């Protein structure tokens, strides 16, 4: 059973479209995250949710909107996609504060054309 699963794995879309990426974890973790990995492989946090509550909201365009219907799910909706949004988006979960690493999903490669 996949611990953190995100869909789709690949997404190719045109500029201006709206798209969503879904994430689910079956680890019972309270905290979930979205990270963006750019073309230079740099990983940067976008959002963090703890038990459906938004905890971290980094400087991200408001075209990006996370939604957490329950603590096992965290989706990412992106409006009016731009070329610069092309990246790999990772969902992750964690037991919370402490010496816990994150468990990552396999990533979604988003390509905006």
**Radius of gyration from C-alpha coordinates of the chain:** 13
Is residue 90 close enough to count as binding another protein by CB under 8 A?
Answer: yes
Residues in region 55-74 near another protein by CB under 8 A: 55-56
Between CA 18 and CA 106 the distance in angstroms is 22
Site stretch for another protein (CB under 8 A), options 16-24, 60-68, 70-78, 91-99? 91-99
Minimum CB–partner distance for residue 14 and another protein (Å): 24
Q: Does 47 bind another protein (CB under 8 A)?
A: no
- Total Cβ atoms within 10 A of residue 57: 14
Does residue 3 interact with another protein by CB under 8 A?
A: no
Q: Which residues bind another protein (CB under 8 A)?
A: 31, 33, 40-45, 48, 50, 55-56, 88, 90, 92, 94, 96-99, 101-104, 106-107, 109
């Amino acid at each position: 059973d996949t611990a953190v699963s995100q869909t789709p794995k690949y997404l190719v879309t045109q500029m201006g479209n709206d798209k969503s990426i879904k994430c689910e974890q079956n680890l019972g973790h309270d905290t979930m995250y979205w990270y963006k990995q750019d073309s230079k492989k740099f990983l940067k946090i976008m959002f963090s949710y703890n038990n459906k509550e938004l905890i971290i909201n980094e400087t991200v365009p408001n075209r990006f909107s996370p939604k957490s219907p329950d603590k096992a799910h965290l989706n990412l909706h992106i409006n009016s996609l731009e070329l610069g949004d092309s990246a790999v988006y990772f969902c992750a979960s964690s037991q919370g504060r402490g010496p816990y690493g994150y468990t990552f999903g396999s990533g979604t490669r988003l390509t905006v054309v």
